[in-house]
Amino acid sequence: MEAKTIENSMGPECEKPVGEQEVIKKDISLACHLRFNRMELAGALGDLGTILPLGIGMIVINGIDPLALFACVGIYYLFQVSISA
């Protein structure tokens, strides 16, 4: 009995196994799930346009430690990636 695969927009190397092969091929590489294209770049630059002015304002006006502020923002983004992946 041959297992069926579901076609997706990421190409044949990222096919999702169905049925018996699902257990065997559960370890699909992370590269199949995370794609970097111009929309991701636009989103990253949009985030910078929001975070940098707010961060600089908090540093200048409130005297927050820059390392602590941007480390917390970086940890937040890593946390978001681990949830969405």
Helix axes 38-62, 66-84, angle to 10 degrees: 150
4-58: pLDDT as tens digits = 544 445 555 555 555 555 544 555 555 566 677 888 888 888 888 899 999 999 9
What does each C-alpha distance from 57 to 10, 45, 51, 78 come to in angstroms? 41, 18, 10, 23
Q: Are residues 47 and 81 in the same domain?
A: yes
User: What range defines the domain where residue 13 resides?
Assistant: 1-35
Q: Are residues 45 and 85 located together in one domain of the fold?
A: yes
- CA separation for the pair 10, 35 (Å, rounded): 9
Please tell me whether residues 54 and 70 are part of one structural domain.
yes
Whether residue 70 has pLDDT greater than 80: yes
Q: What is the pTM of this model?
A: 0.53
